[in-house]
């Protein structure tokens, strides 16, 4: 099943709907979906390394747009939808501490957590809930998410063939490492927030 999913993502890179799927995943991940867009970005960029920059651009734009939705959830719907999402991830008792830290470290929190595997939706919802300046939030999101996705594009543009060979040779290992990084992101979020 793992190989089939990987092959589907590789094949999807050439399909006309590929950018739409990638954008949808990046958008959803920034506001409510638990799976990061890297799951699609990486295989698609491996299949078409010359389009890695385009894929990173689409991920960045869609992720920031999804972040604005997450911000709106936090600002406008925190008492209903926002709290439900935060409690779904088991972080309800830590939101106040996270919110208080915005007064002092807001931009660094957004940029730092946007570059890491820590679930970005937690940052977007809490940014809205904390009343962080929306324009500064958008600017920090562009820096953080663009940095994250363009690092992938740079690496795949430069070392794409070697990386693809290594991933295909040890797909199970790399997927396990990726899953561990995602889980680690949630664990770090539980501890830091």
CA gap 82, 129 in Å, rounded: 8
Percent helix, percent strand, percent coil in the chain, to nearest 5: 85, 0, 15
The predicted-structure confidence for 132-181, as pLDDT tens digits, reads as follows 899 999 999 999 999 989 988 888 878 777 776 777 677 667 667 766 76
Higher pLDDT, 50 or 20: 20
Cβ neighbours for 138, distance < 8 A, ≥ 6 positions apart: 64, 67, 68
Dihedral, 161, 162, 165, 169 alpha carbons, nearest 10: -170
End-to-end CA distance of the chain: 35
Global confidence as pTM:
0.76
The predicted-structure confidence for 180-192, as pLDDT tens digits, reads as follows 766 666 666 556 5
């Amino acid at each position: 099943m793992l190989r089939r999913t990987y092959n589907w993502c590789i094949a999807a890179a050439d399909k006309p709907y590929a950018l739409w799927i990638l954008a949808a995943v990046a958008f959803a991940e920034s506001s409510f979906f638990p799976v990061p867009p890297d799951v699609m970005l990486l295989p698609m960029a491996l299949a078409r390394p010359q389009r890695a920059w385009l894929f990173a651009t689409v991920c960045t734009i869609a992720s920031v747009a999804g972040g604005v939705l997450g911000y709106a959830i936090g600002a406008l719907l925190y008492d209903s939808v926002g709290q439900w999402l935060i409690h779904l991830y088991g972080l309800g008792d830590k939101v106040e501490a996270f919110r208080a830290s915005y007064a002092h470290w807001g931009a660094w929190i957004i940029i730092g957590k946007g570059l890491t595997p820590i679930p970005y939706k937690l940052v977007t919802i809490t940014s809205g809930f904390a009343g962080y300046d929306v324009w500064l939030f958008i600017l920090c999101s562009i820096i953080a998410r663009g940095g994250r996705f363009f690092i992938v594009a740079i690496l795949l543009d430069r070392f794409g063939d070697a990386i693809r060979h290594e991933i295909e040779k040890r797909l199970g290992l790399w997927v396990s490492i990726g899953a561990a990084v995602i889980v680690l992101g949630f664990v770090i979020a539980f501890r830091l927030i």
